[in-house]
């Protein structure tokens, strides 16, 4: 007679389940990416950090370059004290906020951690902020994401810029089309000077064949703009191909800290 069956039928029951839950907690910790506290999170952030993220949105900004305006950065009739010279070829910029703090964290989530929910959320927020203001971006004919080179695209699990553009397009009821392709794989624009950025990106884009751009107002969308070199080069190609106007919208503008800290401490 065998007595092994009794052992095999031993019921691990709740202990096994709670062990599994413990392992899952280790694998998917509920830790806020903003403050590091072990609390329930939405989109990787706790309630308080989600509010801090929203506080970065809605600051006044320059419509030519996207820099935060305030006492340290005055606005002029044709731009602001941080506007680059020459001004990039896109007509105006719409942005959510400065590239810092939790907005920077949120962009890293979609860009490097493949958090497409965050891409959809930021696209929706950008669409809402554009809808609420009287900006020419609302009347664009088509939304065009700034493309990645295919060599860089295949090294990433998903195309976050396309997800961002589609979410924005749904909010603004403007179609999304890939009217540009990246014909040259350029080194990343981070860690190079402003002059190098413009030289680095020159000739990187080409309009797709077989689509007339005559008279079309294009709304370019990107995650972050720094000098405007990349979007400016994309705009230059679209205008050369017949587009009547190119506007730019971005999640965030990378700018000197004196631009956004001038608003900190306000109630």
The count of residues interacting with Zn ion (CB under 5 A) is 12
Q: Please check whether residue 118 is in contact with residue 44, taking contact to mean a CB–CB distance below 8 angstroms.
A: yes
35 near Zn ion, judged by CB under 5 A: yes
For residue 165 the two structure tokens come to: 């553009």
Q: How far is the CB of 76 from Zn ion (least distance, A)?
A: 8
CA dihedral for 257, 95, 152, 154, sign (positive or negative): positive
Q: Residues 56, 57, 59, 80: which binds Zn ion (CB under 5 A)?
A: 80
By CB under 5 A, residue 79 contacts Zn ion: yes
Contacting residue, 59, 62, 213, 243, with Zn ion by CB under 5 A: 62
Q: From CA 116, how far away is CA 123, in angstroms rounded?
A: 10
Alpha helix positions (H), 132-223: 150-153, 160-172, 194-201
Q: Which of 65, 94, 110, 179 binds Zn ion (CB under 5 A)?
A: 65
Q: Near Zn ion by CB under 5 A, which window of 3-11, 63-71, 206-214, 217-225?
A: 63-71
Determine which residue in the list 53, 57, 83, 102 makes contact with Zn ion, applying CB under 5 A.
83
56 makes contact with Zn ion (CB under 5 A) = no
Nearer to Zn ion, 41 or 251 (CB): 41
Exposure string over 146-156, b if 16+ CB within 10 A, otherwise e: bbbeeeeeeee
Q: Which of residues 186-205 bind Zn ion (CB under 5 A)?
A: none
Q: Is it true that the peptide bond before 3 is cis, omega within 30 degrees of 0?
A: no
Is 64 a binder of Zn ion (CB under 5 A)? Answer: yes
Q: Least distance from C-beta 197 to Zn ion, angstroms?
A: 17
Query: Which range of residues in 76-84, 106-114, 115-123, 199-207 is near Zn ion by CB under 5 A?
Result: 76-84
How many whole angstroms separate alpha carbon 248 and alpha carbon 238?
Answer: 12
What phi-psi label fits residue 17: left (phi over 0), alpha (psi between -120 and 50 degrees) or beta? alpha
Contacts of residue 154, defined as CB under 8 A and 6 or more positions apart, other chains included, come to: none
Q: By CB under 5 A, is residue 93 in contact with Zn ion?
A: no
Q: Does 69 bind Zn ion (CB under 5 A)?
A: no
Question: In angstroms, rounded to a whole number, what is the distance separating the alpha carbons of residues 199 and 194?
Answer: 9
Binding flag, residue 228, Zn ion (CB under 5 A)? no
Tokens linked to 151: 């060599």
Among 49, 93, 126, 248, interactor with Zn ion by CB under 5 A: 49
Which CB sits closer to Zn ion, 62 or 162?
62
Q: Is 231 in the site for Zn ion (CB under 5 A)?
A: no
Return d(Cα 64, Cα 90) in angstroms, integer. Answer: 8
Q: Which is nearer to Zn ion, 45 or 204 (CB)?
A: 45
Residues that bind Zn ion (CB under 5 A): 32, 34-35, 46, 49, 62, 64-65, 67, 79-80, 83
């Amino acid at each position: 007679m065998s007595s092994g069956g009794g052992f095999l039928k031993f019921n691990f029951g709740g202990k096994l389940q709670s062990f599994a839950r413990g392992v899952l907690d280790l694998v998917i910790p509920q830790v806020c990416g903003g403050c590091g506290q072990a609390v329930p999170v939405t989109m990787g952030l706790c309630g308080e950090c989600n509010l801090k993220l929203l506080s970065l949105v809605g600051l006044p900004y320059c419509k030519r370059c996207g820099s935060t305006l305030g006492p340290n950065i005055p606005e002029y009739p044709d731009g602001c004290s941080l506007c680059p010279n020459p001004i990039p070829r896109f007509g105006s910029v719409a942005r959510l906020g400065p590239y810092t703090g939790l907005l920077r964290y949120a962009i890293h989530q979609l860009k490097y951690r493949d958090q497409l929910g965050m891409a959809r959320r930021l696209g929706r927020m950008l669409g809402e902020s554009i809808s609420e203001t009287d900006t020419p971006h609302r009347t664009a004919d088509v939304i065009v994401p700034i493309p990645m080179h295919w060599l860089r695209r295949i090294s990433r699990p998903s195309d976050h810029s396309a997800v961002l553009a589609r979410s924005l397009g749904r909010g603004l009821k403007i179609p999304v089309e890939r009217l540009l392709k990246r014909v040259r794989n350029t080194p990343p624009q981070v860690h190079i000077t402003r002059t190098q950025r413009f030289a680095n990106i020159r000739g990187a884009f080409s309009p797709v064949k077989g689509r007339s751009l005559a008279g079309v107002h294009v709304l370019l969308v990107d995650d972050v703009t720094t000098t405007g070199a990349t979007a400016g080069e994309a705009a230059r190609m679209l205008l050369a191909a017949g587009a009547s106007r190119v506007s730019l919208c971005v999640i965030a503008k990378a700018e000197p800290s004196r631009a956004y800290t001038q608003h900190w401490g306000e109630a």
